[in-house]
Amino acid sequence: MTTATERWTYEDYLRLDDDKRYEVLEGELVEMPAPSTTHQRLVKRIVMLLDSFVEKKNLGEVFVSPVDVILSDTNVVQPDVVFVSKENSDIVKERGVFGSPDLVVEVISPSTLKRDTEDKKRIYAKHGVKELWLVFPGEKAVEVFALKDNSYEVCSFGYGEGEVKSCTLEDFELNLGEIFKEV
């Protein structure tokens, strides 16, 4: 569901006083539906593995939605999972992440398919997010994109029992059979 107004900014977003979740995409306020239990299971599994890897190697911080990522005054997103490297840690503030994270993960829901795979993907590339993971629960597939020349290229892909590897985090990989078990 979209709420109409002139052009939404981060300041407008901060003035919202209800309990709903929103994002601002290119100045448009977009209400976010509550995630399904399958969505939540997948996010939890990815966060547990990613956070364990990042902590063990002291690489930075992992955040889980809802966390505001303020890419610009007219682009405020809440990716499912966010990684910010130690070198980039100055963008992490109390109110959210103010700048481009090193890696974001979006678990795709039927109601957010176009928004996540087209609109947000374009916004992430425009703002320099180095790596984007798109997780497709129905297909039990994951696409990993690396930013190159202001657009994304597939750097890893897997489905079913396969594995995917990060292009940003050396040696980090996910076993999809483990991630998608009982989904």
ω into 137 cis (within 30 of 0): no
Specify the CATH number for 35-179; select among 3.50.50.100, 3.90.1570.10, 3.40.225.10, 3.20.80.10: 3.90.1570.10
Question: Could you report the per-residue pLDDT of 101-144, keeping only the tens digit for each?
Answer: 999 999 998 888 889 899 999 999 999 999 999 999 999 999 99
pLDDT at 1: 45
CA separation for the pair 144, 154 (Å, rounded): 6
Boundaries of every domain in the chain: 35-179
pLDDT at 182: 80
pLDDT at 4: 52
Question: Could you report the per-residue pLDDT of 160-170, keeping only the tens digit for each?
Answer: 889 999 999 99
Q: What is the CA radius of gyration of the chain?
A: 16
Tell me how far CA of residue 130 lies from CA of 61, 72, 98, in angstroms. 15, 16, 15
Tell me how far CA of residue 119 lies from CA of 72, 95, 115, 179, in angstroms. 15, 24, 5, 26
